[in-house]
Each structure stands twice: as C-alpha cells, then as structure tokens.
Chains A and B, each alone.
Chain A
C-alpha cells in the first residue's frame, strides 16, 4: 500500500503559468516531509524539509507547504529550466531494521514550455 502518492504524474505548463504539485501521505505521526528535484539521468537533489502542519519553505520560484495530510509544491511563473521530476518523501517505519527510512512517491514530471 502506497504511503506517499504524488499527483499529477505529469504536468505541462507554459512559461509563466503557475501551478501546484501534490504529495499526499498516509504515515501516522509525520516525522518530516522532503521535496527533491531530479533531472534526467541524475540523482535527486534535495530542495526542502517540512516538519509541521502550517510550515512553509521557499526557494526562488518554488514554495512548499504542509498540512496534516498532504504537501503542495507551488511553482510561480515557471521557466523552462524548472523542467524536472519532483519527488516527495516521508520517513516511514521499516520493520526489518526498526528504523524510519525515506520512502518516496513516484514523482511528478514537469515540463515547462517556452
């Protein structure tokens, strides 16, 4: 059962057209939510960590927000260089190790057309 679900799977925007990506999670007792950007053929690059409902973080045209059930990554006036796959992750309990492990959604592939 997926613990992290991202939507939409793919999103195409025109340059300057603002939008939001969604990450919903089902883990109990949230211990943080992480956003990453991944360019084709490369490893994910860390963007933000959010720890509590109501928290917001910003970086250039990106703003991440968190509620008790989901997080949004808002992209304001995107540019073609914002094209990438955006991943979110939460620490989920892993029984075999008794540890909390970053567990990822499948990502949203964003394409921004000039």
Chain B
C-alpha cells in the first residue's frame, strides 16, 4: 500500500513564526502536492512538484514556499505564519505513468496560528 506520512497531526504556532510541514512518501512517486482544505472551499492547490528540485505554484501560493531535495520528501514552508493560514494541510503523491492516475493522501496536519 502507498503510504504518505505527514510529520504532525496537529500544530499550534504563533503569528510571525516560520513553520515547516513535512511530507514523506514511500512509493517512489514522481509527483507530490500540497493542498489546504477549508470549510466551504474544498481542497485548494498550494504547490506541486513533479521531480526533485522542481516546483510549480498552484492556485494559492502566496505566503508559502516548498522544498523538494529528495524524491520522497516534499516540505511546505510558511515563511511568516498568519492567522488566515489556520487550516487543514494535506500532502499527496502520485506516480507519473503517462496517464493521469489517482493521488494518495497523508493523514493531514491541522495547523492553528494564534
């Protein structure tokens, strides 16, 4: 089974802190994604990566950056946390097979910024 592991289930951070959310997948997938999920808004794409050291902005990249130094690890960084970044953060991965295959998700990180 595909396993996508996010480093924390719950985080509480203070406004202005730099926050790191880590995600590791064990299936050698090329593609990795970060989404945030908010009530009434669904899942929105923050950043994605299709290869090591490659990254592309999603629909809502402002206030975030990412790092992919190894194929299995994709980190989301909140440069200076703000209260409007309180949300559920979901990491996902998928293989590149020439077709579009389903993404597999981690368990999510519930981030609260106070």
Contact = CB atoms under 8 A, between A and B. Distances in A.
A99 B100 CA distance: 10
Nearest to A99: B50
A91 B45 CA distance: 12
B43 interface: yes
B99 to A, nearest CB: 7
Interface string B85-114: 000101010100001111111111010000
A44 B90 contact: yes
A104 B43 contact: yes
A100 B100 contact: yes
Contacts of A46: 102-105
B33 interface: yes
A43 B99 contact: no
Contacts of B99: 31-32, 51
A101 B43 contact: no
Contacts of A101: 33, 45, 48, 58
A94 interface: yes
B56 A106 contact: no
A99 B4 CA distance: 21
A107 B48 contact: no
B105 A44 contact: yes
Contacts of B45: 94, 101, 103
B103 A96 contact: no
A25 to B, nearest CB: 13
Interface string B50-89: 1000001110000000000000000000000000000010
A114 interface: no
Contact of B42 (A34, A49, A99, A105): A105
10 contacts: A32-B102, A41-B110, A43-B105, A43-B108, A44-B90, A46-B102, A51-B99, A96-B56, A102-B103, A107-B42
